[in-house]
Amino acid sequence: MLIRSLAIIAIACVITPVIAANKQTAMQSTVLATSYTVQDLDTGEVLQSKNDTEVRSIASITKLMGAIVALDAFTDLSTTINVKHINGISTKIPNNTAMSISDLLHLSLMSSDNLAAKELARNYPGGEEQHIKAMNEKAASLGMHNTTYTDPTGLFDTNVSTAQDLAKLMFHASGYAIIRSFSTSSSYTLKIPGKKQPRIIEFRTTNRLVSSNSNIILSKTGWIKKSGGCLVMLIEQQGRRLAVILLNSKNTQTRIRDGALLYGLQHGQGF
């Protein structure tokens, strides 16, 4: 009887890890992004990855670097800019609205507003060309050797990078308190002065996960047809900072699902 019990225990010890491994493999196979990495930013340990050196279009993930160089250049974030509409760039911001650099950063990072990102670049010292140059110089200084920026919004499919390079960007961006705060806020209210009363415009986050998980300390989404759904998140939990980076998911909904799934692979849970 004792021998039989010991045999059962031994078999269970062998089978349990196999079942767990098979479950993880099955979960991985349902991730629709074709390129991703899950990495401990502080130790550099890569926990999950697939095609993480593949150069891909990154869409509005571009705005993360745009915010970094803007914060490096602008000394007074309360400085106001008269925002003007540009053909081909959609926005909820009314034409000829006076907005602070802080407002533009907030809308660029949280709701991925393209005009906000464009105005930050146009008003950068030396103009948009210098802004893009600064983005590429910063990428080179961070060792992002497979990254190229060609416009500040991410609308151009020639803004390219890899999941590995974006992990380096996440590490650097995490040092900016404003980027952490603005990129993870759920909503923002813009008040436009009116003759009788102000006009209220509500902006929402493009990553609904930040509303349900306070452990997300940095976030940015992206989408154009060439890039597919893109998402970068930094999650801080139990003293660990975990970067979840994914490119070329099927659409704007599956990028969020993929992000939650990749995080869940490491913690046995979703958001």
Give catalytic residue positions.
60, 63, 112
Q: Are 66 and 266 in contact (CB under 8 A)?
A: no
Please tell me the distance from the alpha carbon of residue 19 to that of residue 15, in angstroms, as a whole number. Answer: 6
Judge whether 227 and 248 are in contact, CB under 8 Å.
yes
**Which string of DSSP letters, residue by residue, matches 114-183?**
HHHHHHHHHTSTT-HHHHHHHHHHHHHHTT-TT-B---SSS-STT-EE-HHHHHHHHHHHTT-HHHHHHH
Instruction: Compute CA distances 187 → 15, 22, 99, 132, 197, whole Å.
Output: 47, 39, 17, 28, 21
Give the sign of the dihedral formed by CA 102, CA 105, CA 110, CA 112: positive
CA distance 203 to 205: 7
Burial class (CB in 10 A: 0-12, 13-18, 19+), 89: middle
Give the tokens for residue 174.
Answer: 């995490």
